[in-house]
Amino acid sequence: MPRVSRMIIQDQTAVYHVMSRTALDGFPLEAFEKDFLLDLVKRMAGLFFTEVYGFALMGNHFHLLVKMLPEYAFTDEAVKERLERFYGEKQAMGWEGQLPFVREKLASLSEFMREIKVNFTRFYNKRHGRRGYFWGDRFKSVIVEEGETLINCMAYIDLNPVRAGIVERPEDYRWNSIGYHIQTSNKDGFLSTDFGPMKYDSLSQCELPRASLKQFNVKSEKERVRLYRKYVYETGAIPTDGKPYTKTIPGKVVTREQKKNFEISRTERFLYRTRYFTDSGIIGSREYVSNTYQQFKHLFQSKHEKKPRSVKGLDGVFSLKRLSENL
């Protein structure tokens, strides 16, 4: 059966939640492997036209939340600078006559992920004296609207080690984005905190009831991280779909954080629906999902127009299911 075409927004800035799982049994990604994988993602992010918002490297899979930037946004000089920084000046000279090819490659989400997965497989196989595949099926990708949806998705990603019962506090985990912010003070400026535009009512210019996130527009990166951490604690204390095996941040931990300027409003908490951030094809406001769907409707076999469906528990957020499990 032929593969279904992946939904990729061409020649525009777009944010994607991408996930990939190992083909091996158990949890082969141990501390040393996670350190290498994180360093590899950082190096590739410095080469490709991308900004990284969030990540979580787990024992048998990883999540990335990345913004891919269009190739026209970079001059030839900017491309050469990236090549020299990554390969070294002498080796980068070999790409001089191939800038159109290089430019197209560096703007590709698929190429970005391929470089990460192929290079990690080589490292892992050499380290463990083995051959063959390390990763399973193709990576999954979800198109994510900037603003509220992006922050919700990033919180879902950062709470992975909490839900898995590895840590009680998400920033205690070394291999997720909130841990990287808190433990390293975002070393080398690796992670972006430019979450994109927040939603406002077009008539009244008032903040929409679902958002309550206008605060993230503050200029200070340190303050944005503090507010995001507060937001993660609010959502992380909420049980997910009543699954008994899914851990949450303990109440006593949240209480301690409240005393350190966390003002949690129960009426603003949303019921955490994690599956929408992994199983959707597109997620965001109704307008964003509808408009983005129009670019890819020719890929769907259904004769009927697909309509965005509201995400229960996330007011104002809609999703469109993926084309297949291997999208």
pLDDT tens digits, 21-61: 999 999 999 999 999 999 999 999 999 999 999 999 999 99
What contacts 2, CB < 8 A, 6 or more positions away? none
pLDDT at 194 over 90: no
Q: In the prediction, which pLDDT does 312 show?
A: 65
H or E element at residue 284: strand 280-284
Q: In the prediction, which pLDDT does 32 show?
A: 92
| Segment 248-271 mean pLDDT | 53
Q: In the prediction, which pLDDT does 55 show?
A: 97
**What would the pLDDT profile of 230-244 be if each residue is shown by its tens digit?**
888 876 665 555 454
Which of 132, 162, 163, 135 lies closest to 28 in space, CA to CA? 135
pTM for this predicted structure: 0.77
pLDDT at 135 over 70: yes
| Segment 177-181 mean pLDDT | 91
Q: In the prediction, which pLDDT does 131 show?
A: 92
Q: In the prediction, which pLDDT does 272 show?
A: 32
The verdict on domain 14-70+107-321 having CATH code 3.30.70.1290 is yes
How far is residue 191's CA from residue 171's CA, in Å, rounded to a whole number?
Answer: 15
**What would the pLDDT profile of 268-309 be if each residue is shown by its tens digit?**
333 334 455 666 678 888 888 888 888 777 776 666 777 888
**Is the backbone of residue 147 left (phi > 0), alpha (psi -120 to 50) or beta?**
left
pLDDT at 202 over 60: no
Q: What percent of the chain has pLDDT over 90?
A: 31
pLDDT at 246 over 80: no
Mean pLDDT, all residues of the chain: 78
Q: In the prediction, which pLDDT does 206 show?
A: 25
pLDDT at 68 over 50: yes
Residue 163 token pair: 């839900």
**What would the pLDDT profile of 159-174 be if each residue is shown by its tens digit?**
999 888 898 888 889 8
pLDDT at 72 over 80: yes
- Kindly list the domain boundaries of the chain, sorted by start residue: 14-70+107-321
Point out the least confidently predicted range of 20-29, 69-78, 259-268.
Answer: 259-268
Q: DSSP character for 73?
A: G
Point out the least confidently predicted range of 125-134, 176-185, 259-268.
Answer: 259-268
| Segment 237-256 mean pLDDT | 60
- Is 213 or 271 the better-scoring residue by pLDDT? 213
- Is 326 or 257 the better-scoring residue by pLDDT? 257
What contacts 43, CB < 8 A, 6 or more positions away? 86
Point out the least confidently predicted range of 23-27, 42-46, 99-103, 210-214.
Answer: 210-214
Q: In the prediction, which pLDDT does 47 show?
A: 94
Point out the least confidently predicted range of 89-103, 116-130, 198-212.
Answer: 198-212
3-state secondary structure 95-143: HHHHHHHHHHHHCCHHHHHHHHHHHHHHHHHHHHCCCCCCECCCCEEEE
- Is 110 or 93 the better-scoring residue by pLDDT? 110
| Segment 71-84 mean pLDDT | 87
